[in-house]
Structure 1
């Protein structure tokens, strides 16, 4: 998890996904950004990075348990795993 957060772009992705309606063109989306997530194409457009790079970053965050992926047709949507993030923050606060 710490390795996933060490990359500034991955950290920025998590920050953007915290408030999807503020950071992404929700009106262009095909799913609820809080229930399903933000389409990877919208995330890619905001970063300006290659789609493969963005997908790799999101996969790292998913393996770390920080985001969840949901397929809607041929598109993958990502949203923060707030329950897991809250648990991590609480565990860190308790142990530090």
Structure 2
């Protein structure tokens, strides 16, 4: 399946979109940082579960689909996994949609 299609399908579900929004915020009190450089590892699973109100297995399922679409990555720190967005993947999807919009605008302008 086309990567763009997988990404759009992943974002089309309300729960997955809620998770993406939570990860975009990276709330300080629930974000783990690398003590050496200050880079954010991401948000803990328990925060996503609490904020979405979904069960653990359901959150895991949605994270799996977001990871498979390349939108989210998990960073393992000790025995914990923290989740964060892959901004480049979202930007690539945005650019593709923007290119389509520009193409459509050109076609519309010629038709007038």
Q: Which runs of 5+ in 1 are unaligned?
A: none
Match of 1:2 among 5, 8, 14: 8
Tell me, which stretches of 5 or more residues in structure 2 are unaligned? 1-6, 102-112
What CA RMSD, in Å, does the superposition of the two structures yield over aligned residues?
1.8
Query: Could you tell me the TM-score, scaled by structure 2's length?
Result: 0.73
**How many residue pairs were aligned?**
91
Q: Following superposition of structure 1 onto structure 2, how do residues 1-96 of structure 1 map, counting pairs within 5 Å? A: 1-21=7-27, 25-26=29-30, 29=31, 31-32=32-33, 35-96=40-101
Rg larger in structure = 2
Shift of 1:60: 0.5
TM-score of the aligned structures, taking structure 1 as reference length: 0.84
* Alpha-carbon distance in 1 for matches of 2:45, 2:27: 15
